[in-house]
C-alpha cells in the first residue's frame, strides 16, 4: 500500500517553490529589514533637513534627481499673477486723478510740439491746402463712422438684439464723441453698453461680448492691413531692420488675433478652463453669447466692413497728404497710418490724440516719406488731428440735441 504524502509546512512549501533554502530566506529577510531601516533613517534625515533648510533646497527622496536650480525656479502661476497685478496697477494709475492729468498733459504737449514745427507764416495758413483734394478727404473720413455703426448692427442682429436703428446710431455717435474727449478709452463703449442694458437687462454678458468682438475685429483688420501694406512697401525697395521688425509685429498681431478668434469658435479648447475659473453656469452663458459671433457669415461680413473702414481712413489721409503738398505712395502712407492707429489704441493719451499724430510723424520719417519737408509733415499730422476731432464733434452735436430728438432716436 502506498502511504499518503506527508504535509509540509507552509514555509517549506514556499521555500521549495522559490528554490531557496530556509537559511537563505532568513538572510534575505534580515537584509530587507536592514535596507528598510536604512531607507527610513535617510527619509527621516531628509525631512529634518527640509524643516531646517527649507523646501526650496531639499527635495523628497523620490524626486532627488531634480536639481536645485529647478527647485528655485519661480512658479508659472506666481509669474502670471505678478504680471496681471502690474497691469492692473498701471491701469488703475491711469484712471487716477494724477494719471488723468498726465494723460491730458501728454496730449497737449505732443500737439503743441507739432504746432511749433509748422512755419505758419511761410505756409499762409489754410490757403496752403488744396481744397479740391481736402474736401474728398474729409468726406471719406466721415464715411468710416457710419460703416462702424453698420458693423455693430450686424453683431447685434446676430446676437438677437432687436434695437431700433435710430437708437443704435445715436449711441454710436455719442460714443465717438466721448471716446475722443474723455479719459479711459472706453467711455463710448459704456454708452453703447448702457443702451443694450436698458433694452435687455438680463443679457449683460451678450452685450459686453458683442462690444468686445466689435473692437477686436477692427483691430485684427488693422493689423492685417498694416502687414500687407508694409510688405508691399518693403517689396518696392531695400528694407531696414526697423521696417522688418514692424512687419513682423504687424503679422504677429494679426495671427494672434486670428488664432484667438479660431479658438473661441471651438468650445472644446477653452470651455474646460472657463468652467474651472468661472463655473459651469457662467461658462454656459458665455458660450451662448459667443456662439452667434463665431458663425462664418457674421465674422466674414464684419471683417469686410472693418477693412472698408480702414481703407476709407487710409485713402482720406493719402488725399490729405496730397492736399498739403506731399507726394507719398499709398502703400507707405497706409502702413504709417496703420501703425499710428495701433499706438493710439493704447490708453496713454486722451482719445489717442497727440500720440497718434506723433507716431505718424515718426513712422513717416522711418519709411522715408517727407524727408526734408518736416513742416509739411507736421502740417499733415495737425490736419489729421483736426479731421478726427471734427467728425467726433458731430457726436457732440448729437448728444447736445438729444432731448429734442424724437423718442425713437433718444
Whether 83 is covered by a domain: the verdict is no
Q: Are residues 390 and 249 in the same domain?
A: yes
Residue 77 has pLDDT above 90, yes or no: no
pLDDT in tens, 101-122: 776 676 777 667 666 666 555 5
Give the three-class secondary structure for 2. coil
Which residue did the predictor score with more confidence, 367 or 137? 137
Whether the CB-CB separation of 402 and 170 falls below 8 Å is answered with yes
Confidence at 315, pLDDT banded by 50, 70, 90: very high
Angle at the Cα of 253 from the Cα atoms of 321 and 353, rounded to 5 degrees: 40
Query: How many other CB atoms are there within 10 angstroms of residue 291's CB atom?
Result: 14
Among 94-103, 222-231, 381-390, the least confident range: 94-103
Cell of 222: 488693422
255 lies in the same domain as 177: yes
Identify the top-confidence range among 5-19, 103-117, 229-243, 325-339: 325-339
Q: Is residue 41 assigned to a domain?
A: yes
What does the pLDDT average to over 252-273? 86
* Residue 10 counted as domain residue: no
Instruction: Measure the CA–CA gap between 393 and 390, rounded to whole angstroms.
Output: 5
Identify which of 254, 170, 218 has the alpha carbon closest to the alpha carbon of residue 344.
218
More confident residue, 388 or 101: 388
Are residues 247 and 334 located together in one domain of the fold? yes
Percent of the chain with pLDDT over 90: 17
CB 108 within 8 A of CB 361: no
Considering the domain architecture, whether residues 124 and 234 belong to the same structural domain is answered as: yes
66 and 203 both lie in a single domain:
no
pTM for this predicted structure: 0.69
Give the residue-averaged pLDDT of 69-98: 53
- Please list the helix, strand and coil fractions of the chain in percent, rounded to the nearest 5, in that order: 80, 0, 20
In order, the DSSP letters of 21-61 are -HHHHHHHHHHHHHHHHHHHHHHHHHHHHHHHH-TTT---G
Q: Are residues 45 and 114 in the same domain?
A: no
| Residue 53 domain flag | yes
Residue-wise pLDDT tens digits, 28-70: 454 444 444 444 444 444 343 344 434 444 444 444 434 444 4
The pLDDT value recorded for residue 306 is: 95
Statement to judge: residues 196 and 252 lie in one domain: yes
Whether residue 25 has pLDDT greater than 80:
no
Kindly state whether residue 186 falls inside one of the protein's structural domains. yes
* Residues 51 and 176 occupy one common structural domain: no
Q: Is residue 328 part of a domain?
A: yes
Mean pLDDT taken over the chain: 74
Residues 29 and 112 in one domain: no
In a domain, 11, yes or no: no
Do residues 395 and 176 lie in contact, with contact meaning Cβ atoms separated by under 8 Å?
yes
Do both 51 and 110 map to the same domain?
no
Please state, for a pLDDT cut of 70, what percent of the chain lies above it. Answer: 67
Do residues 235 and 364 share a domain? Answer: yes
The average pLDDT across 216-245 equals 85
244 and 316 belong to one structural domain: yes
Tell whether the model's pLDDT for residue 216 goes beyond 60.
yes
Domain holding 355, by residue range, is 106-404
Residue 6 lies in a domain: no
pLDDT (tens digit, 9 = 90+) per residue, 111-166?
676 666 665 555 555 566 788 899 999 999 999 999 999 999 999 999 888 888 88
Q: Domain tally for the chain?
A: 2
| Burial track 165-180 (b if 16+ CB lie within 10 A, e otherwise) | eebbbbbbbbbbbbbb
Cell (9 digits) for 223: 493689423
Amino acid at each position: 500500500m502506498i502511504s499518503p504524502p506527508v504535509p509540509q509546512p507552509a514555509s517549506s512549501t514556499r521555500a521549495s517553490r522559490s528554490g531557496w533554502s530556509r537559511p537563505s530566506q532568513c538572510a534575505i529577510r534580515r537584509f530587507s529589514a536592514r535596507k528598510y531601516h536604512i531607507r527610513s533613517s535617510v527619509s527621516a534625515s531628509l525631512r529634518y533637513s527640509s524643516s531646517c533648510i527649507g523646501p526650496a533646497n531639499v527635495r523628497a527622496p523620490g524626486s532627488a534627481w531634480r536639481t536645485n536650480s529647478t527647485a528655485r525656479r519661480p512658479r508659472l502661476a506666481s509669474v502670471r499673477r505678478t504680471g496681471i497685478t502690474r497691469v492692473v496697477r498701471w491701469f488703475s494709475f491711469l484712471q487716477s486723478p494724477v494719471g488723468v492729468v498726465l494723460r491730458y498733459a501728454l496730449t497737449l504737449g505732443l500737439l503743441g510740439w507739432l504746432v511749433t514745427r509748422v512755419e505758419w507764416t511761410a505756409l499762409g495758413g489754410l490757403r496752403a491746402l488744396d481744397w479740391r483734394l481736402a474736401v474728398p478727404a474729409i468726406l471719406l473720413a466721415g464715411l468710416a463712422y457710419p460703416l462702424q455703426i453698420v458693423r455693430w448692427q450686424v453683431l447685434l442682429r446676430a446676437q438677437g438684439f432687436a434695437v431700433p436703428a435710430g437708437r443704435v446710431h445715436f449711441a454710436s455717435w455719442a460714443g465717438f464723441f466721448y471716446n475722443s474727449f474723455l479719459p479711459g478709452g472706453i467711455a463710448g463703449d459704456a454708452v453703447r453698453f448702457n443702451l443694450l442694458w436698458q433694452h435687455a437687462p438680463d443679457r449683460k454678458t451678450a452685450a459686453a461680448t458683442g462690444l468686445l468682438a466689435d473692437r477686436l475685429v477692427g483691430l485684427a483688420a488693422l493689423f492685417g492691413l498694416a502687414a500687407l501694406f508694409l510688405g508691399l512697401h518693403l517689396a518696392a525697395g531695400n528694407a531696414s531692420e526697423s521696417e522688418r521688425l514692424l512687419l513682423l509685429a504687424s503679422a504677429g498681431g494679426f495671427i494672434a488675433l486670428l488664432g484667438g478668434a479660431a479658438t473661441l469658435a471651438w468650445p472644446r479648447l477653452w470651455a474646460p478652463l472657463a468652467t474651472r475659473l468661472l463655473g459651469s453656469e457662467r461658462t454656459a452663458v458665455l458660450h451662448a453669447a459667443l456662439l452667434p459671433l463665431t458663425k462664418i457669415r457674421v465674422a466674414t461680413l464684419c471683417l469686410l466692413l472693418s477693412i472698408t473702414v480702414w481703407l476709407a481712413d487710409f485713402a482720406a489721409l493719402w488725399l490729405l497728404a496730397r492736399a498739403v503738398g506731399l507726394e507719398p505712395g499709398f502703400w507707405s502712407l497706409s502702413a504709417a497710418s496703420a501703425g499710428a492707429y495701433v499706438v493710439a489704441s493704447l490708453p496713454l493719451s486722451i482719445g489717442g490724440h497727440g500720440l497718434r499724430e506723433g507716431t505718424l510723424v515718426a513712422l513717416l520719417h522711418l519709411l522715408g516719406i517727407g524727408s526734408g519737408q518736416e513742416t509739411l509733415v507736421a502740417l499733415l499730422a495737425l490736419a489729421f488731428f483736426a479731421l478726427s476731432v471734427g467728425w467726433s464733434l458731430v457726436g457732440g452735436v448729437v448728444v447736445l440735441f438729444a432731448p429734442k430728438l424724437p423718442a425713437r432716436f433718444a
